């Protein structure tokens, strides 16, 4: 069983389980998803990340006790990844390093798209400090992506990055997975986008028992 840590607190089970559903559809891996407490806007800046890290570690430990044999940290900033790996003796895959690693392997002109002020650390580490980064207009946290305006702004932002010369866009927010933006980009723009949950699923499929 895969344990999925969601860093956006939400009461809708369908929303909470969405990333697990995507991984199951692609890789046939069963999972259980849990949210950290008291973060209804998720992680969107340094302060919200600092508050979240102890909760992430505690939830990871709890999921291991429940019998999970691998963990997926479903946040592209990789918050608390080092601490979580130190706390549990099972494989841990995180969305950010998975997305950035896959982009790096492709060795094509890449841009990063997310919801923060800058590209998260895993992307700067793996793709370079000067990697092109953009945030959709009006999108400041994950919940903004769930609106029609957020979806429209995200597609427009991606289109602008491709027009500037990017051949690949690596998503640095798992909220883009929730709104299936990579699929929309492929269908409407005919371009390549790396979905952070999908990238993580690829690595998990090699580590986690089905």
Residue 143 in 3-state DSSP? helix
Note the pLDDT tens digit of each residue in 76-133: 999 999 999 999 999 999 999 999 999 999 999 999 999 988 999 999 999 999 999 9
pLDDT confidence of residue 171: 98
- 81 sits in the region (left: phi over 0; alpha: psi -120 to 50; else beta) called alpha
C-beta separation of 183 from 133 below 8 A = no
What average pLDDT does the segment 126-154 reach?
Answer: 94
Give which of 96, 66, 58 is closest to 174, Cα–Cα: 96
Query: Rounded CA gap, 113 and 116, in Å?
Result: 9
Delimit the domains of the chain by residue range. Answer: 2-94+198-207, 96-196
- If one looks up domain 2-94+198-207 in CATH, what number appears? 3.40.50.1860
More reliable by pLDDT, 42 or 210: 42
Fold identical between 2-94+198-207 and 96-196? yes
Asked whether the whole model's pTM tops 0.85, one would answer yes
Q: What angle do CA 191, 197, 199 make, to 5 degrees?
A: 65
Query: Rounded CA gap, 110 and 12, in Å?
Result: 34
Query: Rounded CA gap, 153 and 210, in Å?
Result: 37
The answer to whether domain 96-196 has CATH 3.40.50.1860 is yes
Reported confidence tier of residue 170, pLDDT bands at 50, 70, 90: very high
CB atoms within 10 A of CB 13: 9
Q: Which residues of 38-70 are buried (b: 16+ CB within 10 A; e: fewer)?
A: ebeebbbeeebbeebbebbbebbeebbeeebeb
Note the pLDDT tens digit of each residue in 31-84: 999 999 999 988 878 899 999 999 999 999 999 999 999 999 999 999 999 999
pLDDT confidence of residue 202: 95
């Amino acid at each position: 069983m895969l344990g999925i840590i969601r860093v956006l607190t939400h009461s809708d089970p369908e929303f909470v389980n969405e990333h697990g559903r995507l991984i199951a559809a692609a890789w046939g891996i069963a999972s259980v998803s849990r949210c950290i407490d008291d973060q209804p806007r998720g992680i969107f800046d340094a302060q919200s990340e600092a508050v979240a890290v102890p909760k992430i570690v505690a939830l990871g430990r709890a999921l291991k006790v429940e019998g999970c044999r691998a963990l997926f940290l479903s946040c592209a900033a990789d918050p608390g990844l080092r601490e979580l790996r130190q706390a549990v003796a099972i494989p841990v895959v995180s969305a950010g390093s998975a997305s950035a690693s896959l982009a790096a392997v492709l060795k094509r002109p890449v841009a990063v798209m997310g919801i923060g002020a800058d590209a998260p650390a895993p992307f700067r580490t793996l793709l370079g400090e000067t990697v092109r980064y953009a945030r959709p207009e009006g999108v400041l946290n994950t919940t903004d992506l769930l609106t029609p305006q957020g979806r429209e702004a995200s597609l427009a932002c991606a289109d602008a990055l491709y027009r500037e010369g990017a051949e690949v866009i690596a998503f640095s927010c798992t909220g883009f997975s929730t709104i299936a933006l990579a699929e929309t980009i492929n269908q409407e723009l005919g371009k390549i986008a790396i979905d952070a949950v999908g990238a993580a699923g690829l690595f998990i499929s090699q580590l986690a028992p089905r």
